[in-house]
């Protein structure tokens, strides 16, 4: 157990710049073409709904369940006061969660803590699993968590590094696209019950301004997280 703990909390050397750039390019491919994005977007949905669920618990709400659907949509149901800071923070957590998770992952990689990143992601997915309320959602969470676990346990250090950087780049870049998709849907009159519209009803702040806040968070995390990945010495 002591050896395992040392492995998780220890540091690993940073990969070459070419690995960082190659994984960034790979992440762009994963969020680019619609046929690919339609599959990979589910991972962003896991982070999105997980963000709702985690903040609901942190603010004292009762988390009743999370559903993930094959069309990449999701639903998180929590019980508690229908207004107030807890509900506002819970509603705001969805679109910001993938980018903030990516930023946290970039900080870990910048500090050389690759194993902590892989095992931390596995632990978060394992903790989320009991709250999933449909078969498709459970399968996607199990599959995603299983990939993280197998890579961290069975593969060589070089493969782990490439996978870790690809995953973080994917969260940073993948957190940006859904906000633009939301903006486009709202411009066409769709998504009347989106997180931004719910926040507007809760706070009186226009939904468009909430979309702008989502943009600020996602793009800000991409810029800051990307700089950590490209120049880990900046964290020293």
| Secondary structure of the chain as H, E, C letters | CHHHHHHHHCCCCCCCHHHHHHHHHHHHHHHCCHHHHHHHHHHHHHHHHHHHHHHHHHCCCEEEEEEECCCCCEEEEEECCCCCHHHHHHHHHHHHHHHHHHHHHHHHHHCCCHHHHHHHHHHHHHHHHHHECCHHHHHHHHHHHHHHHHHHHHCCHHHHHHHHHHHHHHHHHHCCHHHHHHHHHHHCCCCCCCHHHHHHHHHCCCHHHHHHHHHHHHHHHHHHHHHHHHCHHHHC
All structural domains of the chain with their residue ranges: 15-235
Encode pLDDT of 72-112 as tens digits. 999 999 999 999 999 999 999 999 999 999 999 999 999 99
pLDDT value, residue 26:
97
pLDDT value, residue 181:
96
pLDDT value, residue 235:
58
pLDDT value, residue 2:
59
> CA 210: distance to chain centroid?
19
pLDDT value, residue 11:
78
For the entire predicted model, the pTM comes to 0.94
pLDDT value, residue 188:
87
pLDDT value, residue 191:
78
pLDDT value, residue 232:
76
Encode pLDDT of 142-154 as tens digits. 999 999 999 998 9
Give the mean pLDDT of the chain.
Answer: 93
Low-confidence ranges of the chain (pLDDT < 50): none
With contact defined as beta carbons under 8 Å apart, do 151 and 118 qualify?
A: yes
CA distances from 98 to 85, 94, 218, 224 (A): 21, 8, 8, 14
Structure tokens that stand for 227 in this block = 């700089």
């Amino acid at each position: 157990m002591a050896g395992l703990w040392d492995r998780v909390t220890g540091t690993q050397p940073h990969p070459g710049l070419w690995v960082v750039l190659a994984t960034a390019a790979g992440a762009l491919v994963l969020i680019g073409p619609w046929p690919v994005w339609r599959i990979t977007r589910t991972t962003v949905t896991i982070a999105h709904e997980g963000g709702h669920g985690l903040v609901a618990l942190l603010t004292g709400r009762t988390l009743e369940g999370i559903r993930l659907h094959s069309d990449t949509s999701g639903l998180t149901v929590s019980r508690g006061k229908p207004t107030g800071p807890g509900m506002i923070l819970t509603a705001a957590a969805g679109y910001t969660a993938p980018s903030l998770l990516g930023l946290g992952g970039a900080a870990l990689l910048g500090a050389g803590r690759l194993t902590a990143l892989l095992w931390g992601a596995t632990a978060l997915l394992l903790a989320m699993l009991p709250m999933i309320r449909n078969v498709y959602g459970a399968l996607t969470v199990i599959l995603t968590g299983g990939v993280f676990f197998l890579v961290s346990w069975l593969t060589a250090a070089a493969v782990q590094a490439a996978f870790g950087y690809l995953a973080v780049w994917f969260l940073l870049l993948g957190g940006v696209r859904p906000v633009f998709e939301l903006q486009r849907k709202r411009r066409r009159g769709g998504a009347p019950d989106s997180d931004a519209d719910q926040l507007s009803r809760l706070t009186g702040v226009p939904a468009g301004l909430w979309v702008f806040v989502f943009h600020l968070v996602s793009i800000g995390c991409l810029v800051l997280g990307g700089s950590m990945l490209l120049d880990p010495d900046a964290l020293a």
